Amino acid sequence: MGEVDPAFVQEPDHRPKLSHIEAEGIPIIDISPIINKTVKDPSAIEGLVKEIGTACKEWGFFQVINHGVPLKLRQKIEEASRKFFAQSLEDKKKVSRNQTNSSGYYDTEHTKNVRDWKEVFDYLVKEPTFLPATPDEHDHQVNQWTNQTPQYPPNFRVVIEEYIQEVEKLAYKLLELIALSLGLEAKRFEEFFIKDQTSTIRLNHYPSCSYPELALGVGRHKDPGALTILAQDEVGGLEVKRKADQEWIGVKPTPDAYIINVGDIIQVWSNDAYESVEHRVVVNSEKERFSIPFFFFPSHDSEIKPLEELINEKNPPKYRPYKWGKFIVNRKSSNFKKQNVENLQIYHYKLA
Ligand SMILES: O=C(O)CCC(=O)C(=O)O
Ligand SMILES: [Fe+2]
């Protein structure tokens, strides 16, 4: 990756500012009151629920500390990720993701039709995972997917499974807090995930880049799922579009914190009360960076639409329903190659 390859070059408007702002903005929330306990009296966590609601409204992003995921497990998966990516391209390609297997290694992802400066390894949280065979809404065939497991490092599968177990618990806790903050029952969202969630965990490696003013690790985008739970390393590079003034703000790495963002599904469920916020990743010429997002996705047959409890005459539904499985399969097929049109977005389901 020496000379400037035009495939990676962002349009002038979307190039990063290298003097990036790292504001203290994104709230850091201590969620210890709900970790390893069943909350019997909701008034005991009223303050926490308020904080979550405010962060979702004002930023669409927050960080959590005292989240219950053991640091040891995070360190182990980070180490496994470094070892995996340190292999030769030839070895990594032995577990390549391809048109018929959505898990595995991949280094040619495009975001908004510009190639990302990164390589990834995708792993399904549930095995098997059920997804529609095609984006075509008249095609009812459903396929079963399983994971590819790299031979190196040798403990890869055990380490990733242990980590998934703990992050999944955190994901359910966060859903409860978000439901409560919207005035819903704590378990309101659970039914969409308990049976056949389609979540994935991704290992991201952003190599150092000799033209960080032109390329991005991940171009600006919104996450399509319900929630993303991200572990970023100490290098930094994630930028979030601040709702207040549309400036790109760097998310300063906080040791052992997770960065949480609300995805498109929560935007639709909440009928736009909580918006899925644009973010991107800047790269730098000195340091490589690693990150591990957990994308919390519902079952493929979930119908996504504004929740009945949150709509009324004054606040009519802003979206027509869509099937999650069809949406994500459509998205995945378009991430595969450079296209001339924008890929599927929730605003395509927006009611006038
Ligand atoms: O690596 C990061 O910090 C964020 C990655 C991201 O936004 C994504 O993969 O959707
Ligand atoms: Fe993202």
**CB neighbour class for 352 (10 Å; exposed up to 12, middle 13-18, buried from 19):** exposed
Q: How far apart are CA 180 and CA 275, in angstroms?
A: 17
Atom of ligand 1 nearest to the CA of 295: 10
Starting at the earlier edge strand, list the strands of the sheet with 28-30: 28-30, 61-65, 258-262, 227-232, 289-296, 200-206, 119-124, 104-106
Whether 239 lines ligand 1, by a CB cut-off of 6 Å, is no
Whether 251 lines ligand 1, by a CB cut-off of 6 Å, is no
Residue 136, pLDDT score: 92
Whether 279 lines ligand 1, by a CB cut-off of 6 Å, is yes
Pairing of strands 218-221, 227-232: unpaired
Whether 280 lines ligand 1, by a CB cut-off of 6 Å, is no
Whether 204 lines ligand 1, by a CB cut-off of 6 Å, is yes
Among 106, 111, 230, 294, which residue has the most ligand 1 atoms within 8 Å of its CB, making it the best to mutate?
230
Put residue 272 in one of left, alpha, beta given phi > 0 → left and psi -120 to 50 → alpha. left
Alpha carbon dihedral 245, 247, 248, 253, in 10-degree steps, equals -60
Token digits of residue 340: 């001339």
Could you state, in order of their start, the residue ranges of all structural domains in the chain?
6-349
Q: Whose CA is nearest to atom 9 of ligand 1?
A: 293
Token digits of residue 200: 């994935």
Return residues with CB closer than 5 A to ligand 2 (ion): 223
6-349 topology per CATH: Jelly Rolls (2.60.120)
ipTM of the complex: 0.99
3 state SS of 178: helix
Along the 352 residues of the chain, how does pLDDT read in single tens digits? Answer: 457 899 999 999 999 886 666 666 799 999 999 997 777 777 889 999 999 999 999 999 999 999 999 999 999 999 999 999 999 999 999 999 987 778 999 998 888 889 999 999 999 999 999 999 999 999 999 999 999 999 999 999 999 999 999 999 999 999 999 999 999 999 999 999 999 999 999 999 999 999 999 999 999 999 999 999 999 999 999 999 999 899 999 999 999 999 999 999 999 999 999 999 999 999 999 999 999 999 999 999 999 999 999 999 999 999 999 999 999 999 887 665 556 667 889 999 999 7
Residue 254, pLDDT score: 95
Ligand 1 centroid vs 281 CA: distance in angstroms? Answer: 7
Atom of ligand 1 nearest to the CA of 259: 3
